Amino acid sequence: MPDDIPRIEINLDVLRGNLSVRLQHLSDILKIAAISSRVVDDSQFNAYSTFMEFNVAPAAKLDLCQAKEFFYQWCLTNNFRDSVEHCGIFLEECNLVCELLKARSNNKIKAENIKDIYGKNKDKFHKRNFPDKINYLRKEYSVSSVLEEHILSLNRTRNCLVHRGGVVGAMDANEAGVLEIKYRAFQLSIQSVNGGEEVVIDEPMTVGTKTESNAFMKLTDFKKEFKTGEKIKFSPKEHPKTICTFWLFGNDIHQSMCKAFDLGAEAKSPLGTP
């Protein structure tokens, strides 16, 4: 290819990696929130103020314990919301790459197609809602994931948090009046080498067994439910499940794109613009 022809290099590993980095940063931020909420004491809390502080309801000010509880739950909730939105950004990046790959001919793409892909087509996809973006990728490019149901349940939860303050409404719930959140994440278990009951390990603990046992990790589906009128509340255990679900989803989409466009193991495709 002549040197004077502009080149575009598509690397699906980077596309997937960007999602992983965003999710990792959310975990790191939440770690800081957990540590800081533990170490602050009454004297620090009561002494702190900003210049020209303005209290709009001084009689309703939170004490330290209340503030810690509200703060950590606020961090968990907003961290969850951001993870869904990062997934939305990932879907938009995937669509852009799919359009480029679809428009190629002999590893070249016309300049006018580039203009449409980065212009009106990109804006049109951006305006689609989250479920429509997933449906479009599946129908238009055969790019999909076995975790779509899980991801859509997380998006419904995000919509409830953003639009209804986390109080489950009729539009969030299923026919049974329940908002169901689905996760897929790794679960640690131990089991005797001779078989027997499988013991799930979901927190630090000392396990005593009379026989030799094996520890193993496996992917497991988890569910959490909130009834109509109930306020969504997360525990620290839900965060890694959310992150893992989106990470697995990103891997699924990555593999699906490689298959749909016959990219092979390297998942790279150089494009030239004639």
CA-wise closest residue to 231 among 74, 88, 67: 74
Which pLDDT belongs to residue 174? 94
- Work out the mean pLDDT of the chain and round it to a whole number: 88
Under a CB-based contact definition with an 8 Å cutoff, are residues 19 and 248 in contact?
no
User: 37 is written with which tokens?
Assistant: 């909420």
For 196, list phi and psi in degrees, rounded to 5.
Answer: 100, -170
Distance of CA 264 to the CA centre of its chain: 26
What pLDDT, on a 0 to 100 scale, did the predictor assign at position 4? 56
Q: Quick one: average pLDDT of 117-128?
A: 95
Instruction: Report yes or no on 30 lying in a domain.
Output: yes
Quick check: is 55 in a domain?
no
**Which class for 45: exposed (0-12), middle (13-18), buried (19 or more C-beta within 10 A)?**
middle
CA–CA separation, 169 vs 176, rounded Å?
A: 12
Q: What is the pLDDT of residue 108?
A: 80
Give residue 269's pLDDT band: very low, low, confident or very high (50, 70, 90).
very low
Within a domain: 45: no
* 260 pLDDT more than 70: yes
pLDDT band at 274 (very low <50, low <70, confident <90, very high): very low
Supply the range of the domain harboring residue 245. Answer: 8-39+62-272
In a domain, 190, yes or no: yes
Coil, helix or strand at residue 192:
strand
Handedness of CA 260, 16, 236, 161 (dihedral sign): negative
**Residue 131, Cα to own-chain centre: how many angstroms?**
14
Q: Could you give the CA distance from residue 94 to residue 122 in angstroms, rounded to a whole number? A: 11
How many separate domains does the chain show? 1
Cα 168 from Cα 228, distance rounded (Å): 5
- Find, among 15, 4, 3, the residue nearest to 263 by Cα: 15
Q: Does residue 56 sit within a domain?
A: no
The pair of structure tokens assigned to 41 is 């004491």
pLDDT at 1: 47
The 10 Å Cβ neighbour count of residue 192 is: 15
> Which residues does residue 189 pair with via DSSP β-bridges, in sequence order?
200, 216
- H helix or E strand, kind and range, residue 29: helix 12-39
Determine the average pLDDT of the residues in 75-102: 96
Q: Which residue has the tokens 């596309």?
A: 15
| pLDDT tens figures, 124-157 | 999 999 999 999 999 999 999 999 999 999 999 9
CA 251 to chain centre: 12
CA 57 to chain centre: 36
What does pTM read for this prediction? 0.86
Q: What is the DSSP string of 80-130?
A: HHHHHHHHHHHHHHHHHHHHHHHH-BTTB--HHHHHHHHTHHHHHHHTS-H
- Domain assignment present for 73: yes
CA distance 211 to 190: 12
Structure tokens at 114: 């580039």
How confident is residue 215, by pLDDT bands cut at 50, 70 and 90? Answer: confident
In a domain? residue 51 = no
CA dihedral 193, 196, 199, 205 (to 10 degrees): -60
Asked, for residue 1, whether it belongs to a domain, the answer is no
